[in-house]
Every structure is written in structure tokens, then in C-alpha cells.
């Protein structure tokens, strides 16, 4: 029973993730897309827990489902949805674009199938040490301190840019 | 029946393709940004799966970086959409073609 526990959880989460991602893309109403996107984020957080990345799962729920989705729903409510839902949902070059995307899918699938990733195989059964908040913190503030600081500058610039762009006279 | 890295790679491959189709096909700029978030998530799953496989934290740290960049991208992108809606009264990307020759 225990041996089948992880595959069952993985396949369930993966199935819900893929189905809700398809619904995000295919729903005409942007509000429905946003709701299914929240479902996708929660399922990805579940996959992170399955991979022993508990801190990352918490960050995923807080930042994505809590922060970014509030922004999205706010903007959807700001621009009127009814008018947007009435018109044609797809682009003029939709068939051509899907062809290009499937070509990219085949290319990446060949890379995954033939690539060097095969040698990893089975995931190591590590204990509770991996994904521990303390371990991530040590990495983040010792090895990756400079990228971390650069990222804070990036967030500041993004904040300034967002404020300037939403001013009255742009 | 064991879940390997390849399972996670295939899942993130599917998720990435769905997001790319959304970016290419949809006309609504908000849905295009949502599809971009799907692609960011696919990359994150990849990084965390390899972090588990190689038993180190670096992949998770980079996944945190991806989440941060996604937050900044969403803020700037949605501000652009608001500016676009204010000037053109539309969020359909093919109706904003003033820079196309």
C-alpha cells in the first residue's frame, strides 16, 4: 500500500494540473481562467511537497495564489470582461501557432527522451533535511547572496515601472 | 512503479507546451500573461525535480528566483495592460498594431 502511495498522489496531482492548465488556456471568460490558474498553482505546490520542497510550496501558495492572482483578478475587474468575452477568443494565425507549438513540443520531447537525464533515474529517498527552510536559507544567503541582492533591485525596478506605467498620462 | 525525474520532466514539458499554445493562440492579453505564468511553473517543476535528484538546494533557490521574477513580470505586464486599455479601450493584442508596419 505504501509503495503505491507516491505514484497515486503524483498522477492525481499531475492530471489535475494538466487539465486545469488546459482549461486556463481554453476558457473564453478570463475570470474562469484565473480560477483554474489558482487550481494549477495549488497542484504545483502539492508536487513541490512531494519533492520535499516544503518551503518552496509555501512560497508558491503565498506569492502566486495569494499575490499574483489578486493582481490578475483586480485587472480583470478593471477592464470590462463582458465585452472581451463576446468577441473571438483566438488569434488569426491560431492554427499556424499551434503547429509551431507542437513542433517545439516534439523537439523538447526528443531532448527529454534522448538526453542525459536518463542516468538520474530513481529519485533518492532523502529524509526531512532536503527542502528544509534552514538549508534553503543557508544556500540563499551564502552561495547566492549576490543574485539575491540583484533580485531585490529587480523587484524595486519592477515596482517603479508598474507605478509609472499606471499613471494617468502614459 | 517508481516516480522518477523523467515523470516530472514529462509533466513540465506538457505544462510548458500548454502555456506556449496559450501565449501564441489567445487574443486576450490577460490570458496571455496567465499562460506565461504556466510556463514559469513548468520551469520551476523542472528545477525542483533536479534539486531532488542531485540532493542539493541550488535548484530550489533558483525556483525561488523564478517565482520572484514571475511576480515582477506580472506587475509590469498588468500595468502595461492597464495603460493599453486606457489608451486604446481594448485588451485584444491584435487590435493594438500601431507599431506594426
The average confidence (pLDDT) of chain B is: 89
Calculate the CA A29 to chain-centre distance. Answer: 20
What's the mean pLDDT in B36-46? 94
Q: What is the DSSP letter of B4?
A: B
CATH of A2-88, one of 3.30.43.10, 1.20.120.1200, 1.10.10.60, 3.30.70.980: 1.20.120.1200
Mean pLDDT of B10-31: 92
ipTM: 0.92
Count CB pairs under 8 A between chains A and B: 241
Interface touch A90/B27, C-beta < 8 Å: yes
Rounded Cα gap, residues B37 and B13, in angstroms: 14
For the cut 70, the answer to whether the pLDDT of residue A126 exceeds it is no
Domains of chain B, earliest start first: 5-95 (1.10.287.3510)
Residue A103: exposure state from Cβ atoms within 10 A (0-12, 13-18, ≥19): exposed
Q: Which of A110, A16, A93 is nearest to B23 (CA)?
A: A93
Span B5-9, average pLDDT: 87
Instruction: Say yes or no: B88 contacts chain A, CB-CB below 8 A.
Output: no
* Structural element, H or E, at residue A109: helix A94-114
User: Per-residue pLDDT averaged across A140-153, rounded?
Assistant: 92
What is the C-alpha to C-alpha distance for residues A123 and A132, in angstroms, rounded to an integer?
A: 17
Residues 109-138 of chain A with CB under 8 A from chain B are 109, 112, 117-118, 120-124, 126, 130-131, 135-136, 138
Q: Is any Cβ of chain A less than 8 angstroms from the Cβ of B93?
A: yes
Q: What percent of chain B has pLDDT over 90?
A: 56
Listed by start position, the domains of chain A span: 2-88, 132-170
- Residue among B52, B18, B86 nearest A79 (CA): B86
Region A70-91 average pLDDT = 77
Instruction: Provide the pLDDT confidence category of residue A132 given band limits of 50, 70 and 90.
Output: confident
Judged by CB atoms closer than 8 Å, whether chains meet at B79 and A161 is answered as yes
Residue B84 has pLDDT above 80, yes or no: yes
Amino acid at each position: 500500500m505504501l509503495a503505491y502511495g507516491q505514484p497515486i498522489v503524483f498522477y492525481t496531482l499531475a492530471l489535475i494540473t494538466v487539465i486545469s492548465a488546459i482549461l486556463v488556456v481554453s476558457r473564453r471568460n478570463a475570470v474562469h481562467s484565473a480560477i483554474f490558474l489558482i487550481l494549477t498553482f495549488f497542484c504545483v505546490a502539492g508536487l513541490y511537497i512531494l519533492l520535499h520542497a516544503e518551503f518552496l510550496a509555501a512560497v508558491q501558495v503565498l506569492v502566486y495564489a495569494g499575490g499574483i492572482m489578486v493582481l490578475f483578478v483586480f485587472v480583470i475587474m478593471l477592464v470590462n470582461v463582458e465585452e472581451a468575452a463576446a468577441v473571438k477568443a483566438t488569434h488569426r494565425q491560431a492554427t499556424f501557432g499551434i503547429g509551431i507549438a507542437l513542433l517545439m513540443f516534439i523537439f523538447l520531447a526528443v531532448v527529454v527522451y534522448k538526453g542525459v537525464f536518463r542516468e538520474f533515474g530513481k529519485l533518492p529517498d532523502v529524509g526531512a533535511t532536503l527542502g528544509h527552510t534552514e538549508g534553503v536559507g543557508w544556500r540563499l544567503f551564502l552561495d547566492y547572496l549576490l543574485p539575491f541582492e540583484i533580485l531585490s533591485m529587480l523587484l524595486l525596478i519592477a515596482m517603479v515601472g508598474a507605478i509609472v506605467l499606471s499613471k494617468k498620462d502614459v | 512503479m517508481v516516480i522518477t525525474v523523467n515523470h516530472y520532466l514529462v509533466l513540465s514539458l506538457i505544462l510548458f507546451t500548454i502555456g506556449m499554445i496559450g501565449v501564441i493562440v489567445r487574443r486576450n492579453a490577460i490570458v496571455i500573461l496567465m499562460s506565461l505564468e504556466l510556463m514559469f511553473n513548468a520551469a520551476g517543476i523542472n528545477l525542483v525535480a533536479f534539486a531532488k535528484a542531485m540532493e542539493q538546494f541550488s535548484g530550489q533557490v533558483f525556483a525561488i528566483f523564478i517565482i520572484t521574477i514571475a511576480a515582477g513580470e506580472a506587475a509590469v505586464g498588468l500595468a502595461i495592460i492597464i495603460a493599453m486599455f486606457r489608451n486604446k479601450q481594448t485588451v485584444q493584442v491584435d487590435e493594438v498594431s500601431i507599431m506594426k508596419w
